[in-house]
Structure 1
Amino acid sequence: MTAKEYLRQLLSIERLIQVKTTERERLMALATKVTSALSDCKVETSPDNTKTQSIIIKMAELREEIEEQVSRYIALYRKIEEEIDDIEDDRYKLLLIMRYMGSASFSDIADKLGYEKRWTLVLHKRALRDFEKRHCI
């Protein structure tokens, strides 16, 4: 695994959490959906409890999965934060933090650091090499 792949894990986990959260919200809306009667006829029917129960079970499973991913994210975030903090060059630290922990684009990073985008890309490459050397990824 390269340093870039290692650091990108944060973004992957974050996206996974977002997808699962969106799915849970969709299921919540489905479970609480209220339908109105379309006719004046009264028909006695029993509600489809099995469908509602399966939705509730799936929502509970998703909640557990989200909690697991959040815990995983926090642990990895702290670990990467410590690993980046080991780097001596402050420019490298800032760049890696902004890119992999803050999901900033290279254009945004260049603007914030006061560099040209091309120089930011050069520094990024150097920062990744330094990170790899220090952490044997």
Structure 2
Amino acid sequence: MNAKEYLSQAFRLDRKINNKLRHTVSLREMATQGTRSIHAQRVSGTDKHSPMENAITRLVDLECEIDADIDRLVDLKRELAAFISQVDNQVCKMLLELRYLEGNTWEDVAEQMGYDLRSIYWLHGKTLQELDLRLNKQELA
């Protein structure tokens, strides 16, 4: 794994969490729609679960997954912050923090740092080269 892939893990996990959160909205809607028709259901002797019950079960399971993913994201960001802290250049360190820890777009990073976008890309590339070397040394050790 190179430095960019390593640092981008938080982006991917954050997107995964957001997708699951959107899915919880639809499950909540399914569960609340089921409450409207619950009185119309007839009780039978089977162990079949109602659609509302299934939606609630899936919702609870998904919320547990989201909680676990959020815990992993917090731990991952802590790990990435320690990795970024190895960078000696304060400008490059700030660039990495703004991009990978705070999730800013490149345009926002450039604006916040007072650089043009091209300079940000160049600094990012140079910093990633440095971090790739550090990762390779760690893998060989």
The equivalent of 2:42 in structure 1 is 46
Distance 2:41 2:79 in 1: 56
| Greater Cα shift, 1-10 or 49-58 | 49-58
The equivalent of 2:104 in structure 1 is 104
Q: Secondary structure at the match of 1:46?
A: coil
Identity among equivalent positions (%) equals: 28
Q: What is the deviation of 1:76? A: 0.5
Output aligned runs, 1:53-132, within 5 Å: 53-132=53-132
Contact 2:32 2:52 in 1 (8 A): no
Q: Which has the higher helix share?
A: 2
Structure 2 unaligned spans of 5+: none
Provide Cα deviations, 1:28-84, integer angstroms capped at 9, x if missing partner: 121112548xxxxxxx64279521111111111101111111111111000001111
TM, length-normalised to structure 2: 0.82
Residues matched between the structures, number: 131
Q: Secondary structure at the match of 1:32?
A: helix
Distance 1:45 1:24, change over 3 A: closer
Amino acid at match of 1:51: P
Moved beyond 3 Å, runs of 4+: none
The equivalent of 1:39 in structure 2 is none
The equivalent of 1:41 in structure 2 is none
Q: Secondary structure at the match of 1:87?
A: coil
TM, length-normalised to structure 1: 0.84
Provide Cα deviations, 1:71-125, integer angstroms capped at 9, x if missing partner: 1111100000111112110011011111111222222222222222111111000
The equivalent of 2:6 in structure 1 is 6
Distance 1:65 1:55 in 2: 15
Amino acid at match of 1:84: I
